[in-house]
Amino acid sequence: MLDRAMTQMRAWRCHAFGDCHALQIESLPVPAAGDGELLVDVRAFAPGFPDMLMVQGLYQLKPPLPFTPCAEFSGVVAAIGNGVRGFAIGEPVMGVVRFGAAAERVVIRADDCMHLPSTLDFAHGAAYLIAAKTAYVGLVVRGGLGAGETLLVHGASGGVGLAAVELGKLLGATVIAAASGPAKLAAVAARGADHLIDYQDGSWRQRVKELTAGRGADVIYDPVGGDVFDESLHCIATFGRLLVIGFASGRIPQAPVNLALIKQISIIGVRAGEYGRQFPAGGAAVNAALADYAQRAQILPLVQRRLPFSGLVEAFDALAARQVIGRVVIEAACAPG
């Protein structure tokens, strides 16, 4: 009989959409790598807000039940499917699946996997790709942010926000970063933001106008939605681009198109993963750029908390309570060997 580590694995499972506290750890057969796929021993995975929404049944993708949540992970290659080139058994990698990463092992398309840069440990590798890719596709591919422009980053202390702050500075923009409270603002300041706005101070849109001599921001990066989106329409520059990243506030806003007409602004949806699925060549170019940024340590995730495999529900609770600065990572999901 083969050892359990070779035939069975632990995985978090969602049997019904709703309360994340209903998630449970189960033993499942280890999946096999098919053509064009890798089997990866997971060393860390990073639960995010979209993963929590998926468990709650509030995300645009509803997997068939039961399913294993979480998208982003790092680990080492355990098996290689037919037709895969460029990977070797035992190599450290990082990757993104649509769901299934909250397990000791995961199968992934080789095209969705990248070698782990030497600048990142497994925890940081698990927290890198989604945030950095969202920032890159948003600011470069969709938003066309240029040197000398002003970028306003909402929710700047979260994983996707911090990546946008760092990338904005690399692109030569003046970065205004908005978050709530001194601890979150301190983390944002450490990533190089030029100006800080505390939502708790009140009318932040007026502060944006003051910082831009009345023009408003050229590009606004908004993973929050709700009231933040509504107010952003009143502090965006003529010909500005408002990037819709997500709706962490819980409310999907409605855009009055007369404002878009008057100010000649663009409201642009950003789905970084879908961009690569729709345009594989473009997705490969994005991945190459992200690998370079990581290897040069120019965009690095902030890992605030590291939890054991049993800590997924605790991580979701912290995300729901808006307690996380940067990312929370689940470590040591799979023992080596």
Do both 62 and 163 map to the same domain? Answer: no
* Mean pLDDT, range 209-224, rounded to an integer: 97
CA distance linking residue 241 with residue 278, whole number of Å: 22
Do both 265 and 158 map to the same domain? Answer: yes
Please check whether residue 284 lies inside any domain of the structure.
Answer: no
Please check whether residue 62 lies inside any domain of the structure.
Answer: yes
Mean pLDDT rounded to a whole number for the chain: 94
Please check whether residue 122 lies inside any domain of the structure.
Answer: yes
Per the CB < 8 A criterion, the answer to whether 150 and 133 are in contact is no
**Count of domains in the chain?**
2
Report the pLDDT value the prediction gives residue 2, as an integer from 0 to 100: 30
Please check whether residue 118 lies inside any domain of the structure.
Answer: yes
Say if strands 217-222 and 236-244 run parallel, antiparallel, or are unpaired.
Answer: parallel
* Mean pLDDT, range 173-202, rounded to an integer: 95
Please check whether residue 12 lies inside any domain of the structure.
Answer: yes
Q: With 80 as the cut, is the pLDDT of residue 309 above it?
A: yes
pLDDT band at 22 (very low <50, low <70, confident <90, very high): very high
The separation between CA 222 and the C-alpha centre of its own chain, rounded to angstroms, equals: 13
Do both 268 and 196 map to the same domain? Answer: yes
Q: With 80 as the cut, is the pLDDT of residue 336 above it?
A: no
Summarised one tens digit per residue, pLDDT across range 73-112 is: 999 999 999 999 999 999 999 999 999 999 999 999 999 9
* Mean pLDDT, range 133-162, rounded to an integer: 97
Domain of 84, in residue numbers:
4-128+301-331
Please check whether residue 150 lies inside any domain of the structure.
Answer: yes
- First vs last C-alpha separation in the chain: 17
Q: With 90 as the cut, is the pLDDT of residue 130 above it?
A: yes
CA distance linking residue 318 with residue 108, whole number of Å: 28
Whose CA is closest to 77, among 111, 102, 103, 113?
Answer: 113
Here the tokens at position 77 are: 């290659």
Q: With 90 as the cut, is the pLDDT of residue 151 above it?
A: yes
pLDDT band at 250 (very low <50, low <70, confident <90, very high): confident
User: Is the pTM here over 0.85, yes or no?
Assistant: yes
What is the DSSP track for 5-43? HHHEEEEEEBSSSS-GGG-EEEEEEPP---TTEEEEEEE
Do both 147 and 124 map to the same domain? Answer: no
Do both 120 and 161 map to the same domain? Answer: no
* Mean pLDDT, range 294-308, rounded to an integer: 95
Do both 257 and 166 map to the same domain? Answer: yes
The three-state DSSP-derived secondary structure of 256-287 is CHHHHHHHCCEEEECCHHHHHHHCHHHHHHHH
Do both 137 and 9 map to the same domain? Answer: no
* Mean pLDDT, range 145-174, rounded to an integer: 97
CATH of the domain at 215: 3.90.180.10
Instruction: Give the phi and the psi of residue 123 in degrees, each rounded to 5.
Output: -65, -45
Report the pLDDT value the prediction gives residue 294, as an integer from 0 to 100: 94
The beta-strand segments (E) located in the chain are 8-13, 24-29, 37-45, 72-80, 92-96, 105-109, 113-115, 150-153, 174-179, 195-198, 217-222, 236-244, 266-269, 303-307, 327-331
Summarised one tens digit per residue, pLDDT across range 28-66 is: 999 999 999 999 999 999 999 999 999 999 888 899 999
